[in-house]
Chain A
Amino acid sequence: EPEERVRAMFYHAYEHYLESAFPYDELRPLTCDGQDTWGSFSLTLIDALDTLLILGNVSEFQRVVSVLQEGVDFDIDVNASVFETNIRVVGGLLSAHLLSKKAGVEVEVGWPCSGPLLRMAEEAARKLLPAFQTPTGMPYGTVNLLHGVNPGETPVTCTAGIGTFIVEFATLSHLTGDPVFEDVARKALKALWKNRSDIGLVGNHIDVITAKWVAQDAGIGAGVDSYFEYLVKGAILLQDKELMSMFLEYNKAIKNYTKFDDWYLWVQMYKGTVSMPVFQSLEAYWPGLQSLIGDVDNAMRTFLNYYTVWKQFGGLPEFYNIPQGYTVDKREGYPLRPELIESAMYLYRATRDPTLLELGRDAVESIEKISKVDCGFATIKDLRDHRLDNRMESFFLAETVKYLYLLFDPDNFIHNDGSVFDVVITPYGECVLNAGGYVFNTEAHPIDPAALHCCRKRKEEQWEVEDLMREFYSLKKNKKFTLQRAADHGEGERAKDPEDAPSEKGGEKRNFKKSSHSLLSCPSQSFNSKLAVLGQVFLDNT
C-alpha cells in the first residue's frame, strides 16, 4: 500500500496548510505559519485542488471550489511572475474547472464552455496579457496585476517564461472562444523559434524588446525546460504538426550537442561547446517527455542515470556536477521537486518496469525520513547534510504528491485508456469527455484534450458529419470522397511549414529531410524492449 503512504503524506501537508497558512500562498513548515510568495492567491490551495480529486476526495474538492470562488481576487496591486501565475493559477483553475463535473460539483448548463472557475482562470489570464505587448511578442517576465507592466520593468525573460503558455492559453481560447490567448502564446513561441541559433539551439535568457540573447547557455533544464515540454504537449493537445516539427528540430540539435553518455549537459548556444557539465534537478522531466513521443529506450537510459544521483543523496540536488560526481556549491538544495517522479510515472505507463516503482518507494522513504516535520514537509536546504528550510513550495502538493500517487495507482481515472468516457450535452452539441489522454501542464494540472473539441465545434463540421452519415445509409454512392489535408483545416497561417523560417537563416541543410511518416506519431517499440526492464538497456543496432 505505498499509495496509502502517499495519501497520508498529502493530508499531513494539506491539513497543516489549511490550519496554519491559509489564506497565504504557502505554508512555512518550520514556523507553522504562512507567507505569500508568488502573489496572494492562496496558491497552495489552487495548486492542490485537482490532487484532491485524484486522491478521490470529492467533498473537499467541492468545498475548496466554493472557497476559491469567494476568496480569490486578482484585482490586487501585486507584481506577479507571468510564468508562475500562468502555470499554477491559470493551469490549476482550468484543470479544476474541467474536472469539476467529475468531482460532483453542480455545473452550469454551458459547462465545460462556461463556469465560475473558467471565468476566474480567464480573469487571471487577462491580467497577464499586457506582458505580451512587446515588439517581438515575447512577454515580460513580471506584470503588475492591477497596473500592467511596471515602467522600468526589465525586458530580460527566460526562455521558459516565453514558451510556456500554449497549453493553458490554447485551452482557454478553445473553451471561451476568445482567440487572443492562443494567439499571443503562438506568437511568443514563433519568436523563440525565429531566434534560435544557427546550430538550432536556444539560450537561457533573451531581451524581449531587442531579441538579443542575454544568457547563451543552451540545455534542457532551468530556464528552458518547459518550452520544449510545451512544444510537445501543445502538439499533442492541438494535433499540431508545426509545434512538433519545431520540437523535433530542437531534439536533433540537443542530441547532437548536449547529449553525452545519456546525460544532457549545458553548451554555448552558438558554438555548441560545453559550458557546464552539470545535471540539474529540473532536467529530470526529460525522460517523461521522451516517453510521450515514443523514445522510450533513450528515456529509460537517461532516467537510470538520474536515479543514481537520487540514490547518492536521497533527492536530486539543484545542480550535480557529473564529472565530479557531487553537488555544486550553493546549489545543494532539494525543494521536493517532482520531475524525476513525473518521469517515472510516464515511463511506468510505457514499460511497467518495477525499477520505476522502486524509485517511487525510495522517494516516499526519503521525503518522509528527511523532510517531514510536525507542520508539513520542508524543503531540503542542503542534500549533503539534510538541513531543512522553512518552505513548502506549492508544487509539492500539486505535482510531487500527485505523480507519486499516480505512479502507485495504475487504475486511477487519470490513466484511463479510453475504455470509459462521459457524454455531455452542451448548448453547442454533444461532447465525449474524460476519455483519457490527459495532458499535464508543467505544474501537473491535467487538461482533457477532448474538451478542446467541445466548445468551438464548428457547425459546418457537424453538418458535414450529418451529410456523410446519410451516405452510410444509402445503397448508392455517388459522391467521391476526398480527404482534407491537415493544412486546410482552419489552422490558417499557422499551418505554414515551420521549415519556412530557415530560409532567412540560410539553412540549406534542413529541407531535404522530409520524414515519410506523420510527425504526430510514435515509433512502435522494438523487440528488445520486452527485456529492457530491471535496469537492462539495449544499444540500438542502427
Chain B
Amino acid sequence: MPQRYFLEKHDWSHEKPFAESFEETPLLVAVLTYMGYGILTIFGYLRDFLRHWNIEKCQVAREREEQKDFVPLYQDFENFYTRNLYMRIRDNWNRPICSVPGAKMDLVERVSHDYNWTFEHTGKVVKEVINMGSYNYLGFAENVGACADAAIESTKKYGVGVGSTRCELGNLDIHEEMEQLVARFLGVESSMAFGMGFATNSMNIPALTGKGCLILSDELNHASLVLGARLSASTIRVFKHNNMQSLEKLLRDAIVHGQPRTHRPWKKILIVVEGIYSMEGSIVRLPEVIALKKRYKAYLYLDEAHSIGALGPNGRGVVDYFGLDPKDVDIMMGTFTKSFGAAGGYIGGKKELIDYLRNHSHSALYATSMSPPVAQQIITSMKIIMGEDGTTLGADRLRQLSENTTYFRRKLREMGFIIYGNDDSPVVPMMLYMPAKIGAFGREMLKRNIGTVVVGFPATPIIESRARFCISAAHTREMLNTVNIYHILQYSLKILLFLLMWEQTNF
C-alpha cells in the first residue's frame, strides 16, 4: 500500500516499548475444542429430548398454568446453551462471599445435589481463599484503615441514601468536593461523578452524540459502551481490536465519503476506546490514537474502567502510563469500582463539556445521586494515591502492584502457559480453550483454596475460553507463588480432559 496514510509517516520507534502478545490458537487445540463442543451439543439435544418425553426429571422453571396459551416468553433455542452447557459448570460463577473482597476472602460453602440446578448453603464458610478474581488492584477493599474510618464518619453524618436527583435536591457538598478532587487527580479542568459505572457510559454517550454523528468503536468494547452508542442513534462503525491501520482507514473513509447515501458531512466523529480491555488484558495504543484524532479532528472517548489507578507511575491511568497530556483526551471516563474500592463512575474533561453534561446527562436529571459514604471512600482513597494524606501508602501500593504484575506474568510465561495481553497490565488472561477445562480449572483451584474467574462463551469467542487473574497490590509474593504452583496441575488436566468430559456428559 502506498505510504499515504498518516500513521505510516510517523516514526514510532522512539516511543515507549509496547509489548503485547496474542498467541495464535494451536491447530490441534482448536480441533479438540470444536470436538468438545460438538459432543456437548449432541448430548444437549439428547437430554432435551429426554426431558421433553419426561424420561428425565425436568428442573427448568415452567410457565404458569393460566398463561400456557400465551406466546412463549423464551424461545427454546435461546436457552439451549444455558440449559445444557452453562448449567453443568454453573458452580464456578456467582460464588457468594461473606467477607471483605481483599487479597484473601471467605466463601460461603454451597453444594448441589442435582447437578447445579439448585444450590444449598451448608452453613459452613471456606476461609482464607486467595482472591484472584475481584477487581481490587490497589487493595482498597478493606474494612480497617483510613478509608473505612472516613466512611464511618460520613455515614454517621449523612446517612446512606440521598432521595433525590443531582439537579433537584441531591447535590450534596460531598459530591462537589469529590468532583473537584477527581478533576485534580486526572489533570483536567472539571469532572462529574455518577452513581453507577455502567450507567455513566449508557447515559452520557447519548447526551454527546446523536443522529448524524459517527461513533468508531473498538471491536472488544464493553457492553456499556455498546449500549450507550446504540442508544445515541448515531452510526456505529467497528474497527479491529487495537488496530490503528483499521481505525485510520475508517476515519479517512468517513470524512471523505460523509454520511451513507446522502454524503453530507458528519457532524462529529467520536472514537471510543478503553484503557485496559478486561477480557484480553491489552492496553490501548494511546499515542497513536491521539495522533490520529488530532490529524482527523475527531473526538476521543477513553474508558479507563480498569486502568485508572492501576497503570502509570502515579496511578493516573493510561495517559500517565504513556506520559501524555490529559488535555488531549476529550472525554476521560472511568469507574471507581476497581482501584478505589467504591462504586460509581466519572467523566472528566473541559469545563464546557462538564457544564453541558450537568444539564443534559440522563443521570443528572433522572437518577439518584451517589451515596455519601461511597463518595467519601473515593475522596479518601484518591488522596492516599495522590500522597496527600501525608503517608507513602499510595506510592507503595502502586509499586507493589506493578511488581506483582511483572512477577506473575513472567512466572506464568516461564511455565509455558499462553498468556494474552500487555506485559504491564494487571489483568492476566490465561487461555484454557476446551469447555471441560473451564469447569475443571475453576473447581480444582477452589479445592486448593484459590478463587479464580473463568470465562467462556458468550463473553469470549467460542474456542477461546480463558481463566482471568486480577493482580492486586494486596497480594504478597507467597500468595502468588501458591497460585503458580497449582498451575502445574494444568498439565495434568490435559490427561484428565477426556475423563472429565465423560463425567460432564454423564447422566
The yes or no verdict on A and B being binding partners is: no
Q: Which residues of B contact A (CB under 8 A)?
A: none
